[in-house]
Amino acid sequence: MVGSRVTIIDPDGDALTEMGNALSHEQIVTNLLNYKGQMVYHPAVIYRRKAVLDLGGYRPECREAEELDLFLRLAEVGQIVNLPEPLLKYREHQAKAGISRSNEKNRCPSVRAGRSAT
């Protein structure tokens, strides 16, 4: 799976910061497992459809952490990297699921397993 760094913008479209400093597979996985924030931004990634289908796609029990769960499972069967150039402008807002529902992520098996391994 290949992602890129992103430029975080405010509701008016003004740049706030660049994210996605973890570029290597090892950096990304370690940071995901240690709650270091969002390492991969789904709108900025490409991956092989077959790899996701082989893993069963998104799991219903991981609804609030579906991207994290999928990325951790993809990391078990392949490499995840981010390109150093920001290729996406990503608008942040307080109602997004990652902010408003962060406690529900622990229901997901891969998230619980990964957290206990660290």
**Residue 116 φ/ψ, nearest 5 degrees:** -75, -20
At what angle are helices 66-77 and 109-117 packed, to 10 degrees?
60
Q: Which of 2-6, 96-100, 106-110 has the lowest mean pLDDT?
A: 96-100
Q: What is the C-alpha to C-alpha distance for residues 37 and 15, in angstroms, rounded to an integer?
A: 19
Residue 6 exposure: Cα atoms within 13 Å on the Cβ side: 19
Q: What is the C-alpha to C-alpha distance for residues 54 and 3, in angstroms, rounded to an integer?
A: 20
The model's pLDDT over 23-78, given as tens digits with 9 standing for 90+, comes to 999 999 999 998 888 899 999 999 999 999 999 999 999 988 999 999 999 999 99
Residue indicated by tokens 């996406």: 88
Q: How does DSSP classify residue 95?
A: T
Consecutive H or E run containing 16: strand 15-19
Average pLDDT over residues 110-116: 63
